[in-house]
Structure 1
Amino acid sequence: MTNAAVHLEGQQHPLQTHMHDALASGVAHTKGQQHPIKLYLVVWGWLFVLSTCSYLVDYFGLHGYLRWSLILLFMVLKAGLIVAVFMHMAWERLALAYAILLPPILVLVFVAIMVLESDYTHLLRVIFFAPTV
């Protein structure tokens, strides 16, 4: 019985050593993932600047395509900063970034195609379904 206990104790020791090493590297890995506070402050500053610019578009009373282009540009820039830094996408693997970012981009492409096709579809409906006088 004593020899079995010594034998089991000898088998657990390398496992415990491996677990200790894994935990120690996990702690070191966690410390390596922290980002400096300066990065977050700079991003918050840029978000403030972009939000101010978006507000100024309305304040100066811009109209038409210029207004909507600027609003969409500022919106996309702010969303990109938030996704890249606060959602940590800038540090993810490329495959994961594609898996998360590619579907919304494709949806926007398909919406743009539908917008371009809408004039043609409307024209056909006006021609063929117009009431005859």
Structure 2
Amino acid sequence: MANTAVDMEERLHAPAHGAVATEAVHAEGQQHPIKLYLVVWGWLFVLSTFSYLVDYFGLHGYLRWSLILLFMMLKAGLIVAVFMHMAWERLALTYAILLPPVVVFVFVTIMALESEYTHFLRVLFFATPS
């Protein structure tokens, strides 16, 4: 009788332990290695240092703003890809989140080029003749 009670108790608890073990293995398989996060933190530190050095060396004009925007976009891309887990998402979700800012950036670029052209035409035709 004692053996039957112990055997029945083992059978009752066996699926629970198996389910917990299966969940632990499944959860462990979904985690990313800590080395990935440390490497990304290192790159973010390096890119932030480069961004600071742009101001430290006193760069001006389009070079300064191009470098600052480049480093900003690289840092934002790393953060979105790794820390927001976009690198492992489905393509449709990636497009839904990343495509609108790219389209806005393209439109802003077109507007900036158009404004330069409009300014050039106004200076050309409305300038006072000397």
User: Structure 1 residues 60, 126: CA separation in 2 closer, same or farther (over 3 Å shift)?
Assistant: closer
Q: Is 1:42 aligned to 2:68, yes or no? A: no
User: Structure 1 residues 25, 115: CA separation in 2 closer, same or farther (over 3 Å shift)?
Assistant: farther
Task: Please state how far the C-alpha of 1:33 moved relative to its aligned partner.
Answer: 1.2
Q: Is 1:51 aligned to 2:63, yes or no? A: no
User: Structure 1 residues 121, 43: CA separation in 2 closer, same or farther (over 3 Å shift)?
Assistant: same
Q: Is 1:86 aligned to 2:66, yes or no? A: no
Q: Which runs of 4+ in 1 moved over 3 A?
A: 21-29, 120-130
User: Structure 1 residues 109, 23: CA separation in 2 closer, same or farther (over 3 Å shift)?
Assistant: farther
User: Structure 1 residues 90, 58: CA separation in 2 closer, same or farther (over 3 Å shift)?
Assistant: same
Q: Pick from 90, 105, 109: which aligns with 1:108?
A: 105
Question: In the alignment, residue 76 of structure 1 is paired with which amino acid?
Answer: M
TM (norm. structure 2) is: 0.73
Aligned match of 1:118: 115
Question: In the alignment, residue 65 of structure 1 is paired with which amino acid?
Answer: Y
Residues 68-107 of structure 1, C-alpha deviations (whole Å, 9 max, x = no match):
1111111111001000000000000111101110000000
Q: Percent of pairs identical after alignment?
A: 82
User: Structure 1 residues 114, 25: CA separation in 2 closer, same or farther (over 3 Å shift)?
Assistant: farther
Aligned residues: 112
Query: Unaligned regions of 5+ residues in structure 2, if any?
Result: 1-14
Question: In the alignment, residue 108 of structure 1 is paired with which amino acid?
Answer: F
